[in-house]
Amino acid sequence: MTVQDVFQAFSDPTRREIVRMLQDSDMGAGAIADRFEMTKPSISHHLGVLKSAGLVRAERRGQEIIYSLQATVFQEFLGYLAETFGEGKGS
């Protein structure tokens, strides 16, 4: 994971919404796709970007792939943002 990968992942509103959804609970790929009006391959692409950035983890459970938020990577990124753009910066 690089900071650039995470910024790229968060640059898309669909991916930001997927991260919000996974904050509540782990979800199967099908359940995630059902919440959007786009093709399953498009959702798969978004999940791949999030996975490549280290923001989500995929685990196969039988026939289904379950996605979960990688909280430590997410927290590291928030820490980076706070450190870089925090109060008092640029003043």
Give tens-digit pLDDT for 17-36.
999 999 999 999 999 999 99
Q: How confident is the model at residue 40 (pLDDT cuts 50, 70, 90)?
A: very high
Please check the confidence at residue 54 and state whether its pLDDT lies above 70.
yes
Instruction: Give domain limits for the chain.
Output: 3-82
Q: Is the whole model's pTM more than 0.75, yes or no? A: yes
CATH number for the 3-82 domain, one of 3.40.50.300, 3.40.50.2000, 2.40.170.20, 1.10.10.10?
Answer: 1.10.10.10
For residue 2, report the phi and psi dihedrals to the nearest 5 degrees: -120, 160
Tokens of 12: 């898309």
